[in-house]
């Protein structure tokens, strides 16, 4: 969901930092459950339902709820959903034989070396922040992890106070995993080389701002594409980071104006990406005419970038929180707040499927059999209490795992479906775990998801593989763990301040996942 994003471009005014909405706990959870309405203001109208306490007969039940509304006017964007809790099926440690489901036969690699199941191993807290570029083994899960970014790496201009990857939905790695783009505290996008073992080295600051939605080319490791800042124009720009060139790859202005007179820009509201092959782009078109310059949607288009053809369009009745493109390119997934909710449209916009009745932390992904799905946190609604996947073609919902642990717990999760070359899995990162209706810190010995990065199979009764502890620190928005996978699921990045509340301690960390050839 969208909260405040950093501002603008290099060749125009220099990017400047803004503050995103903080992650705040409390019985009403007004900030925890914040979302962005169509005007760009951050609002909260969701009801928080806390996780189970044991009933006298051993059953579990939700016993408390609260709701509140908060608003913060800002024309910029971001993503800050909160969390609300259900039932856990395992309160203790798990081993590779203690799983959450049956063997589906999808594993044909070294995942059997990972700790599987709802493992509640406690992280070892209070240690020093890891040195930059030095791998350590996660204390319980054994995978190699390293801090790969630091503000001190930037040597060319506009020195930041922190550098990290953008978001769980935005692929950081290029087509072959040799480069990555990072964002920084003052808005600039920074380019890094990625060594074979996983360490990062700074290359240069690109003439790109985070608000331009940088997306790597699907096959060319030297090329990325950007939109104009905050949807302020109708061009897609091609950047060759090896040659240092920028060219306009497409200008949709006349065609958009013909469909939606008065519309002057297009974007995904900073949370979408093209189809896995880079061909189809689903875009919101409109203008920054709302309060405070907020973007107001006039409509939506599906654009075939390869053929330079608009496949379909639809007028907007309300401005969504964000939109994105199905991995296959067959659907545009538009996510509005309650009650319109999240819907999958065919690219001609002739048909649609209701996926959820609101907009939540989520990502699009591909199952092992090649089906497009949305994986989302269901905090409210008929399917509440689970992280679910829903099929884009028919709306069938499959619960993956429960959102909550014991003692009226709550947590927040981000989801990454970016491992396009390793279909059948998403990476999930949790942060900000609380118990007792949000009044107490979680006990990591009973909350299996406590500040952790893990991998979830996209199947009924899925296998869950634990990757690493995040050592989350209570830094507002930018400190959220927000893990993102590379294309073949051999590297996973996550954000951490290493238990610190200082924003300057934010960095990206890389996990080396066992190589899994399809």
Q: How many residues are listed for the chain in this entry?
A: 518
Q: Is the pLDDT of residue 450 over 80?
A: yes
Collapsed DSSP state (helix, strand, coil) of residue 436: helix
Predicted pLDDT at 1: 52
Q: Which of 53-67, 211-225, 310-324, 472-486 has the lowest mean pLDDT?
A: 53-67
Q: Is the pLDDT of residue 103 over 50?
A: no
Predicted pLDDT at 335: 98
Q: Is the pLDDT of residue 93 over 70?
A: no
Q: Is the pLDDT of residue 17 over 90?
A: no
Predicted pLDDT at 260: 98
Highest average pLDDT, of 4-13, 64-73, 299-308, comes from: 299-308
Tokens 């051999």 identify what position? 490
Q: What confidence category does residue 109 fall into, taking pLDDT thresholds of 50, 70 and 90? A: low
Top pLDDT among 372 and 55 is at 372
The pLDDT tens digits for 427-445 are 999 998 999 988 999 999 8
Top pLDDT among 48 and 293 is at 293
Mean pLDDT score, 165-192 = 97
Burial of 231: CB neighbours in 10 Å, binned 0-12, 13-18, 19+: buried
State how far the Cα of 409 lies from the Cα of 476, in Å rounded to an integer: 20
Predicted pLDDT at 508: 98
Share of the chain above pLDDT 90, in %: 74
Predicted pLDDT at 151: 98
Tokens 């996973």 identify what position? 492
Q: Which of 123-137, 197-211, 402-416 has the lowest mean pLDDT?
A: 402-416
Q: Is the pLDDT of residue 47 over 50?
A: no
Predicted pLDDT at 515: 74
Predicted pLDDT at 36: 34
State how far the Cα of 297 lies from the Cα of 289, in Å rounded to an integer: 9
Non-local (6+) Cβ contacts of 11 within 8 A are 207
Predicted pLDDT at 110: 64
List the alpha helices (DSSP H) in 269-396.
Answer: none
Collapsed DSSP state (helix, strand, coil) of residue 292: helix
Collapsed DSSP state (helix, strand, coil) of residue 211: helix
Mean pLDDT score, 281-306 = 96
Helix then strand count (H, E) for the chain reads 1, 38
Q: Is the pLDDT of residue 16 over 90?
A: no
Share of the chain above pLDDT 70, in %: 78
Q: Is the pLDDT of residue 30 over 50?
A: no
Mean pLDDT score, 411-424 = 96
The pLDDT tens digits for 118-137 are 999 999 999 999 999 999 99
How confident is the prediction for the chain on average, in pLDDT?
A: 82
Report CA dihedral (448, 450, 456, 460) to the nearest 10 degrees: 40
């Amino acid at each position: 969901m969208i909260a405040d994003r950093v501002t603008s471009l290099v060749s125009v005014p220099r990017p400047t930092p803004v503050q995103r909405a903080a992650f705040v706990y409390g019985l009403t959870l007004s900030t925890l459950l914040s979302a962005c309405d169509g005007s760009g203001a951050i609002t909260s109208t969701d009801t928080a339902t806390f996780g189970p306490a044991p009933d006298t007969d051993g059953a579990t039940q939700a016993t408390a709820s609260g709701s509140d509304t908060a608003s913060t006017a800002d024309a910029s964007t971001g993503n800050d959903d909160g969390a609300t809790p259900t039932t856990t099926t395992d309160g203790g440690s798990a081993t590779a034989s203690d799983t959450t489901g049956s063997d589906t036969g999808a594993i044909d690699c070294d995942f059997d070396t990972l700790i599987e199941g709802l493992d509640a191993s406690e992280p070892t807290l209070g240690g020093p922040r890891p040195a930059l570029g030095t791998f350590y083994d996660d204390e319980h899960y054994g995978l190699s992890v390293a801090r790969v970014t630091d503000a001190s790496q930037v040597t060319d201009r506009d020195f930041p106070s922190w550098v990290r990857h953008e978001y769980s939905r935005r692929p950081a790695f290029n087509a072959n995993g040799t480069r990555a783009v990072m964002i920084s505290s003052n808005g600039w996008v920074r380019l890094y080389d990625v060594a074979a073992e996983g360490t990062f080295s700074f290359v240069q600051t690109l003439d790109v701002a985070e608000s331009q939605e940088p997306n790597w080319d699907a096959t060319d490791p030297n090329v990325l594409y950007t939109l104009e800042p905050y949807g302020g124009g109708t061009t897609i720009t091609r950047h060759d980071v090896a040659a240092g060139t920028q060219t306009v790859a497409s200008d949709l202005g006349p065609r958009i104006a013909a469909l939606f007179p008065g519309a002057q820009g297009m974007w995904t509201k900073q949370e979408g990406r093209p189809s896995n092959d880079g061909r189809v782009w689903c875009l919101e078109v409109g203008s920054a005419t709302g309060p405070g310059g907020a973007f107001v949607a006039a409509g939506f288009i599906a654009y075939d970038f390869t053929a330079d053809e608009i496949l379909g369009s639809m007028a907007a009745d309300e401005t969504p929180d964000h939109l994105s493109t199905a991995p296959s390119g067959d659907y545009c997934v538009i996510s509005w707040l309650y009650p319109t909710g999240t819907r999958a449209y065919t690219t001609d916009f002739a048909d649609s499927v209701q996926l959820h009745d609101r907009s939540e932390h989520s990502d699009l992904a591909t199952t092992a059999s090649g089906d497009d799905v949305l994986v989302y946190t269901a905090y409210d609604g008929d399917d509440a209490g689970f992280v679910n996947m829903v099929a884009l073609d028919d709306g069938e919902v499959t619960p993956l795992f429960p959102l909550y642990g014991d003692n009226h717990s709550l947590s927040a999760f981000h989801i990454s479906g970016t491992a396009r070359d390793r279909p059948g899995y998403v990476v999930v990162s949790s942060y900000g775990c609380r118990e007792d209706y949000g009044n107490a810190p979680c006990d990591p010995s009973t909350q299996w998801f406590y500040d952790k990065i893990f991998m979830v199979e996209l199947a009924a009764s899925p296998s869950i593989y634990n990757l690493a502890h995040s050592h989350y620190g209570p830094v507002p928005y930018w400190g959220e763990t927000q893990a993102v996978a590379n294309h073949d699921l051999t590297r996973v990045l996550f954000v951490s301040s290493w238990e610190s509340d200082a924003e300057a301690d934010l960095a990206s960390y890389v996990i080396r996942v066992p190589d899994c050839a399809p």
